[in-house]
Structure 1
Amino acid sequence: MHELAITQSIVEAVTQRLPDAQVTRVCLVIGKLSGVSVPSVEFCFGPTTEGTALAGAELQVEQTGGRVRCRHCGDEFPCDDLLAVCACGSVELEVIAGQELLIRSVEVRNHV
């Protein structure tokens, strides 16, 4: 399950960037063509954050749709499956969107 390693990397990146902050929410963007299972990341998030500044933080995931361009005819169209065929019959497709995997934002508790 590579989602465990991905989730651990997200937690490490946030804790390295915000070492003294109490994190309350992490917002991710995961593309539908990224090969990353959103339910698996959500499942791994809680256990991965235990004992860190992210413990108890909410995980919010926005999933973006895919988009491809046909290398044969140049047509672009939405696509959420890498096993797709262009209307022209070509399977030579270039992914132009939907492979994102990024931390969009992190919210922290305000220390007053």
Structure 2
Amino acid sequence: MHEMSLCEGVLQIIETEARNQDFDKVKRVILDVGVLSGVEIPALEFAFEVVMRGSIAENATLEINELEAQAWCMQCAETVTVKQRYDACPKCESYQLQISSGDEMRIKELEVD
């Protein structure tokens, strides 16, 4: 499950920022996760709880914002919303789409003490 390694990366970022910004407890973590990122939300929530045990984010709540995917259609030159990779353009039915967002995962916000 790659969600475990994603949470380990989140913890590394939290620990680095704790040293840089001098905080010792994380109360809330807000993540932006794109629908095309390949991240399974229930697995991420489970992995977060496991990975954060014994860390400065042990009792932190996790909030996940699921982001829509956007693509640029080369045929009609429009930015459109897509639900999955290889969808047709909802406006012109072309398959010549270039994904521009929705495949990312990032820490949006940390609430700390």
TM superposition score category, shorter chain reference = 0.7 to 0.9
Q: What number of residue pairs does the alignment pair up? A: 109
Q: Equivalent residue of 1:18, what SS?
A: helix
For residues 76 and 49 of structure 1, the distance between their equivalents in structure 2, rounded to whole angstroms, comes to 38
Deviations 1:17-42 (A, max 9, x none): 11451111111111111222222111
For residues 79 and 63 of structure 1, the distance between their equivalents in structure 2, rounded to whole angstroms, comes to 13
For residues 2 and 93 of structure 1, the distance between their equivalents in structure 2, rounded to whole angstroms, comes to 27
Q: Which runs of 5+ in 2 are unaligned?
A: none
| 2:94 aligned partner, one-letter code | S
TM-score (norm 2): 0.87
Alignment RMSD: 1.4
Matched, 1:85 2:88: yes
70-79 vs 6-15, which deviates more?
70-79
Q: Which runs of 5+ in 1 are unaligned?
A: none
Q: State the identity %.
A: 28
Matched, 1:106 2:110: yes
* Matching of residues 1-112 of structure 1 within 5 Å: 1-19=1-19, 20-86=23-89, 87-109=91-113
What's the CA shift for 1:104?
Answer: 0.8
What's the CA shift for 1:51?
Answer: 1.1
Deviating above 4 A after TM superposition, structure 1's stretches of 4 or more consecutive aligned residues are none
